[in-house]
């Protein structure tokens, strides 16, 4: 790893050490930072490429504040983790670190009920919803909803516990299942928004959107199975998305830094699904760097460390995609093929990250918990992207999946 670089001599705390934090850990070390990861899963791969690691949940805020003080941390970041965002805000605020992030804002954007309340209060959404620990209250409120609705835990991510409910009779069972994925037991129901769903990351500078990168999503029900960039969105629709996000940002005490977003576009209306002041998951920052030449991870790291200076954009490679790989049925991880093996299926592949070890028992992929790994590749168009996704998914189930433990 590079010893010099603009972050040389700085100590950076990265909250999370999973597959989708690997890239920002590598980038921080490339920039010269001494990287300390915090995650309560010792086997997570990010720990192995960091300089130092802490075995601690990213939600143990007070513990991590103490660790940050003891370790002389100069900055803290996360990526692809909503639950870590309030801790990032608390550590930065308590230690007076760069890139200040309001703890109240972090909570409003990372907790689904608070975000829905914020949108309604700002006049940015008319979607009907109800979050509560009381199922009867939710069912009573849902009498006024237009079905289908979606039930979801208030404090989870990765589509865990997100369930479509077509009729009121199924609401009670769905709420109970969604609640089983919540640490607090808080669960909600909200009307299912119509339209085409897009994702992506943006970067704010001086309260204005400096960079906006919209992705097309590969979805199975509510589970994101991949992204492709650049998006096939028309210039007119991208203008609508930019305007909706700019209006949202104008209502926030947040003027510098990244924001991950999910939106649905129905005719001329943009509905905000979720936003978070962090970089996205499913490899979005890597796709942005590959397709657009913009290094969002370097921007976030240097901002968090208070390091100024212009970054050189890399030459864009054209269209790039990711696919999150999971089994079609319950099974065991039999092997973890390397990139050359992946290229035998997808010759334009340029990255593969595995999330589970050999021998792990993994259920069929219904949400992010079933992720075996993620592959990255170049593609010529959206048809090529989907074909490559399907080739890799078939290959995974034929080559990697085993019916019995070995």
Q: pLDDT (tens digit, 9 = 90+) per residue, 347-358? A: 999 999 999 999
Cβ atoms 122, 251 nearer than 8 A = yes
Number of domains into which the chain is organized: 4
Q: Which residues of 147-179 are buried (b: 16+ CB within 10 A; e: fewer)?
A: eebbbbbbbbbbbbbbbebeeeebbeebbeebb
pLDDT for residue 192 is more than 60:
yes
Mean pLDDT of the chain: 95
d(CA 178, CA 329): 21
Q: What is the CATH number of the domain that holds 214?
A: 3.30.470.20
Residues 369 and 268 in one domain: no
d(CA 229, CA 214): 7
Cα angle, residue 284 at apex, residues 180 and 47 outer, rounded to 5°: 70
Please report whether residue 315 resides in a domain: no
Residues 172 and 210 in one domain: no
- Among 278, 305, 332, give the residue marking a domain's end: 305
Which pLDDT score is estimated for 39? Answer: 98
pLDDT for residue 310 is more than 80:
no
Please report whether residue 3 resides in a domain: no
pLDDT for residue 1 is more than 50:
no
Residues 332 and 299 in one domain: no
Q: What is the CATH number of the domain that holds 334?
A: 3.90.1170
CA quadruple 16, 21, 22, 26: dihedral sign: negative
The string of pLDDT tens digits covering residues 229-274 is: 999 999 999 999 999 999 999 999 999 999 999 999 999 999 999 9
Which pLDDT score is estimated for 237? Answer: 97
- Among 166, 191, 216, give the residue marking a domain's end: 191
Cβ atoms 2, 29 nearer than 8 A = yes
Please report whether residue 117 resides in a domain: no
Residues 300 and 267 in one domain: yes
- Among 74, 106, 138, give the residue marking a domain's end: 106
Residues 301 and 327 in one domain: no
Q: Please name the helix (run of DSSP H) or strand (run of DSSP E) that holds residue 14, with its range, or none.
A: strand 11-15
Predicted TM-score of the model (pTM): 0.95
Please report whether residue 31 resides in a domain: yes
Which pLDDT score is estimated for 401? Answer: 97
The string of pLDDT tens digits covering residues 87-107 is: 999 999 999 999 999 999 999
Residues 54 and 156 in one domain: no
| Among 285, 318, 315, 281, residue whose Cα is nearest residue 301 | 285
The string of pLDDT tens digits covering residues 41-73 is: 999 999 999 999 999 999 999 999 999 999 999
Which pLDDT score is estimated for 157? Answer: 79
Which tokens is 168 given?
A: 């009121």
Range of the domain at 151: 128-191
Which pLDDT score is estimated for 315? Answer: 85
The string of pLDDT tens digits covering residues 124-136 is: 998 999 999 999 9
Q: What percent of the chain has pLDDT over 90?
A: 92
pLDDT for residue 286 is more than 60:
yes
Residues 184 and 217 in one domain: no
What is the three-class DSSP state of 346? coil
Which pLDDT score is estimated for 11? Answer: 98
Q: Give the confidence band of 3 by pLDDT, cuts at 50, 70, 90.
A: low
Task: Determine the average pLDDT of the residues in 356-376.
Answer: 95
The string of pLDDT tens digits covering residues 203-231 is: 999 999 999 999 999 999 999 999 999 99
Please report whether residue 119 resides in a domain: no
| Among 72, 69, 94, 68, residue whose Cα is nearest residue 15 | 68
Going by the DSSP 8-state scheme, the letter that residue 170 receives in this structure is G
């Amino acid at each position: 790893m590079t010893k010099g670089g603009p972050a040389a001599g700085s100590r950076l705390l990265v909250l999370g050490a999973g597959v989708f934090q690997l890239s920002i850990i590598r980038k921080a070390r490339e920039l010269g930072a001494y990287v300390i990861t915090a995650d309560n899963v010792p086997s997570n791969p990010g720990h192995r490429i960091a300089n130092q690691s802490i075995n601690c949940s990213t939600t143990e805020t007070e513990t991590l504040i103490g660790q940050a003080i003891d370790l002389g941390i100069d900055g803290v970041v996360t990526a692809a983790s909503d639950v870590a965002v309030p801790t990032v805000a608390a550590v930065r605020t308590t230690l007076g670190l760069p890139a200040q992030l309001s703890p109240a804002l972090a909570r409003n954007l990372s907790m689904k009920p608070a975000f829905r309340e914020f949108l309604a209060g700002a006049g940015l959404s008319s979607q009907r919803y109800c979050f509560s620990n009381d199922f009867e209250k939710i069912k009573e409120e849902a009498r006024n909803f237009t079905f289908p609705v979606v039930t979801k835990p208030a404090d989870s991510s990765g589509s865990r516990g997100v369930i479509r409910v077509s009729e009121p009779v199924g609401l009670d069972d769905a709420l109970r299942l969604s609640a089983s994925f919540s640490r607090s037991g808080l669960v909600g129901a909200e009307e299912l928004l119509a339209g085409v769903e897009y994702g992506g990351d943006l970067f704010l500078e001086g309260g204005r959107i400096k960079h906006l990168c919209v992705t097309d999503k590969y979805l199975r029900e509510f589970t994101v199975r991949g992204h492709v960039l650049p998006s096939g969105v028309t210039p007119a629709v991208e203008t609508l998305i930019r305007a909706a996000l700019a209006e949202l940002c104008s209502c926030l005490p947040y003027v510098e830094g990244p924001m991950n977003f999910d939106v649905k576009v129905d005719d001329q209306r943009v509905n905000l699904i979720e936003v978070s002041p962090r970089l996205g998951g499913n490899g979005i920052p890597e796709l942005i760097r590959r397709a657009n030449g913009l290094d969002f991870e370097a921007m976030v790291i240097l901002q968090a460390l208070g390091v100024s200076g212009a970054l050189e954009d890399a030459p864009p490679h054209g269209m790039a995609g990711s696919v999150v790989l999971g089994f079609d049925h319950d099974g065991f991880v039999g092997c973890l093929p390397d990139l050359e093996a992946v290229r035998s299926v997808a010759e334009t592949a340029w990255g593969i990250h595995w999330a589970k070890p050999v021998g792990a028992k993994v259920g069929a992929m219904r949400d992010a918990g079933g992720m075996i790994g993620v592959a990255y590749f170049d593609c010529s168009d959206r048809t090529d992207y989907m074909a490559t996704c399907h080739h890799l998914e078939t290959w995974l189930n034929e080559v990697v999946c085993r019916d019995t433990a070995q």
